[in-house]
Amino acid sequence: MHLVVLLVAIVVVVVVVTSLCERADLPTPLVLTVVGVAASYLPFVPEVALEPEVVLFGLLPPLLYAAAQQTSLVDFNANRRAILLLSVGLVIATTVAVGVVVHALLPGVGWPAALAIGAVVAPPDAVAATAIGRRIGLPRRVVTILEGESLLNDATALVALNTAIAAGIASLAWCVVGLDFLVAAVGGVAVGLLFYLVIGSARRHVTLVPIDTALGLVTPFAAYVAAEEIHVPTAPDHYSHPSGVVAVVVVGLLLGHRAPVLQRAQSRIAESINWRSIQFLLESAVFLLIGLQADTIIRDAFGGEAAPGRVLTVCAATLVAVVVVRLAWVFGSRMLLMTRLPSGRKPPRSFTFLVGWAGMRGVVTLAAAFVIPEDTPYRDVLLLVAFTVAFGTLLGQGATLPWVARRLQAPSPDPASDALARATLLHRASQAGLARLEELAVDDPHHVADTIRDKVERRDFAAWERVGPQQQENPSDIYARWRQEMIDVERSAVLEVRSTGTVPHEVVAEVLAMLDVEESMLAYSVAERDRVHAATATHLEGDCEHLRQVPPAVSPDTPGECGDCRREGTAWVHLRMCVRCGHVACCDSSPERHASRHFQHSGHEVMRSAEPGEDWRWCFVDQLTG
């Protein structure tokens, strides 16, 4: 009963604090950590003991799996060199550096224990990197590297931690330790691939959404436990192997990448919603749990044999060492770390500094610290060192990261550019679909193909309308507003029928679900439109022969208006201008589509946006934006 009350209390605190932070525009992870620290000193709050098994087997697998599923395998592979440099090289360098500092400042602590605490504080946390990095809008390249690093660095840290612990066990040979870790790492990849093949094969034949969702929920735990069983028989029983981490990351990356092929649309939507909810609760609870450890860890550390001044010194020195070593490593390996952008240019130094500064530690650091044997000298001080690094980096680096990103003028993802890319991609997809439709509609007595073409065109037009400025209500906005009012009336009518009891409950629920799906799509469209229109810059890298050979700038023939629409008495939505003759015409969202008609009549391939603040161009021949 006490455990149930505690879990309910944690969820309530998470929901309340998150809601308040959203309204006040405060960083939720940092506020939850501070709330946890304050709560740990309240007399009515029970002492929360963070057991390593709870974190390593209960929290780590689902968090790693959720993060891996959301990580692009293509981007991960493109940045694999940087990810390996950070997740392997930097973890080892931090382990050694912190070990030297702790061994020098805390007499009585041997090299195995000093290196063990170095391994504990070495890996940045996947939860912290994702929760803070995405919230403040870091450049996508930076977020990809941080996410990839945090997915794999736990495995490297566990290798280093187990090696340090094993060094203190006289009966265990180093060759056995090395063999154990090699088998565990390779076995983790093998288990991850095996689970991907099994789950992927099962999903091809699963038609029920609940079964597919259940498979997704059990996958990270099953893969983790199965991989943890791979070890050398002579290894100590208390070992925590890296194989589980590797297995979960591998299966998560592959299943996330292949989800559009392996799963049905309903299953993908349901699993996405479920994992978003699970990830939200677990991530938030993690930050709260970090703070709740404060009272116990601090009291035990200062109540031990070490002098308070020495305890403070070793904690502060370790925190500084962790931050300095990371910055030195990323700048020292910048030439290898930051590969060139797609444009061929080298990423700015601001990207390098952001990667170096975004090294927040989290709950895995605290959990790993408790793996250190209880008979280790000054173990309480080492636990406080781990807490200081986790809490200090979260508040020190996490709280200042938004300010640093603004000072460095780091470019955050541009919603307007994303809208342009989305419209272009949808257009390509539509062209492929319409080509297939032409093959299917050989015999079409009911003119079904015309209906499908109209729906596809309206979808594409809505995407292009988001790219333009919000100076007036465009057709998609009017459709969304009118359709939303219709849905409200339709739902009321269905509920009125439900109250009579004349229609079976299952039928009513099905109709309400259909209305909910349509309303959710409208809500997403409106929210995305508002987000895009709030952006100020619009750009997208695209290239084709016609875009490269654009002639010198010409003057518009009818500035600020579509002359054809003016003559015909019709309305336009957005304006485009021919880069060859300067003819201004209306876009395809407009009723008469004069821009496309101008291309058909003149053969001039490229039009550019004639809207204020937009500089993108469109090639009618290659269907590309540049």
DSSP codes of every residue in 259-295: HHHHS-HHHHHHHHHHHHHHHHHHHHHHHHHHHHTHH
Residue 474 or 199, more confident: 199
Q: Which amino acid is at 529?
A: R
- Determine contact, residues 301/70, Cβ cutoff 8 Å: no
Is 620 a domain residue? yes
**Nearest-CA neighbor of 324 among 90, 15, 162, 503?**
90
* One domain for residues 424 and 515: yes
- Most trustworthy range by pLDDT among 199-213, 356-370, 444-458: 199-213
Helix (H, G, I), strand (E, B) or coil at 593: coil
Distance in angstroms (rounded) separating the CA atoms of residues 422 and 464 = 9
> Domain limits at 573?
545-625
Contact criterion met (CB below 8 Å) for 130 and 68 = no
Q: Kindly state whether residue 540 falls inside one of the protein's structural domains.
A: no
Q: For residue 296, count other CB atoms closer than 10 A to its CB.
A: 17
Whose tokens are 């500092």? That residue is: 101
Rounded to whole angstroms, the Cα distance separating 123 from 396 reads: 17
- Is the pLDDT at 568 greater than 70? The verdict is yes
Is residue 11 domain-shared with residue 126, that is, in the same domain? yes
Residue 472: how many CB atoms within 10 A of its CB? 9
pTM, rounded to two decimals: 0.75
User: pLDDT at position 324, please?
Assistant: 95
The residue with tokens 């709260």 is 288
Cα(24)–Cα(14) distance, integer angstroms = 15
Choice between 455 and 492, residue whose per-residue pLDDT is larger: 492
- Is residue 469 very low, low, confident or very high in pLDDT (cuts 50, 70, 90)? low
CA 6/CA 546 separation, integer angstroms: 65
Count of positions (residues) in the chain: 626
**pLDDT exceeds cutoff 90 at 460:** no
Quick one: CA dihedral 588, 593, 597, 603, positive or negative? negative
Residue 289 pLDDT grade (very low, low, confident, very high; cuts 50, 70, 90): confident
Q: What is the pLDDT of residue 171?
A: 45
Domain boundary among 476, 499, 533: 533
End position of a domain, from candidates 397, 413, 429: 413
* Rounded Cα distance, 540 and 547, in Å: 13
Residue 539 lies in a domain: no
Neighbouring C-alpha atoms within 13 Å toward the C-beta of 491: 14
Largest pairwise CA distance in the chain: 93
For residue 253, what pLDDT band results from cuts at 50, 70 and 90? very high
Looking at every residue in the chain, the average pLDDT score rounds to 82
- Whole-number pLDDT of residue 422: 77
**Whether residues 336 and 424 fall in one domain:** no
pLDDT in tens, 429-454: 888 888 899 888 888 888 888 888 88
Question: Considering the domain boundaries, does residue 61 fall inside one?
Answer: yes
Q: In this structure, are 89 and 37 located in the same domain? A: yes
Residue with tokens 């604090």: 17
Is 90 exceeded by the pLDDT of residue 536?
A: no
Q: What token pair was written down for 295?
A: 């009272």
| Same domain (yes/no): 269, 354 | yes
Classify 624 as helix, strand or coil: strand
pLDDT at 95 over 70: yes
Structure tokens at 462: 């809505």
Could you tell me if 266 and 358 lie in one domain?
yes
Output Rg (C-alpha) for the chain, integer angstroms: 29
**429 and 512 in a common domain:** yes
pLDDT of residue 127: 64
Distance CA 271, CA 255 (A): 12
Q: How would residue 475 be classed by pLDDT, with cut points 50, 70 and 90?
A: confident
pLDDT bracket for residue 170 (50, 70, 90)? very low
Q: Which of 75, 79, 88, 78 is nearest to 329 (CA)?
A: 88
Would you state the pLDDT for residue 537?
40
Residue 582 and residue 575: Cα distance in Å, rounded? 12
> Cα dist. 408→107, 116, 200, 320 in Å?
41, 35, 43, 22
What was the pLDDT predicted at 77? 85
Which amino acid is residue 336, in one-letter code?
Answer: L
Domain contains 12: yes
Distance CA(133)–CA(317), nearest Å, equals: 26
CB 38, CB 222: distance < 8 Å:
no
Mean pLDDT of the region 104-122: 89
Q: Of 621, 599, 616, which Cα lies nearest the Cα of 464?
A: 616
Answer yes or no: do 409 and 422 share one domain.
no
So what's the pLDDT on residue 235? 45
Write down the residue that tokens 């770390």 correspond to: 337
Residue 233 binned pLDDT confidence (cut-offs 50, 70, 90): very low
Between 417 and 190, the more confident residue is 190
Note whether 159 and 285 are same-domain residues. yes
The pLDDT confidence band at residue 191, using thresholds 50, 70 and 90, is: very high
For 501, the token pair is 């009891």
* Phi then psi dihedrals of residue 608, to 5 deg: -120, 160
Averaged pLDDT, 220-240: 68
**Residue 56's domain is classified under what CATH number?**
1.20.1530.20
Best CA proximity match to 149, nearest among 309, 354, 342, 310: 354
**pLDDT tier for residue 55 given thresholds of 50, 70 and 90:** confident
Domain CATH code at residue 616 = 3.30.40.10
pLDDT greater than 50 at residue 373 = yes
Give the mean pLDDT of 209-238: 78
DSSP 3-state of 620: coil
Domain end (from 509, 533, 557) = 533
- Specify whether 14 is located in the same domain as 127: yes
Assigned domain for 606 exists? yes
Is 225 within 8 Å of 280 (Cβ atoms)?
no
| Structure confidence at residue 202 (pLDDT) | 93
> How many independent structural domains does the chain possess?
3
- Residue-wise pLDDT tens digits, 600-614: 899 888 888 887 766
Percent of the chain whose predicted confidence (pLDDT) is above 90: 19
**Other beta carbons less than 10 A from residue 8's beta carbon:** 10
On whether both 445 and 514 belong to a single domain, the answer is yes
Whether residues 483 and 364 fall in one domain? no
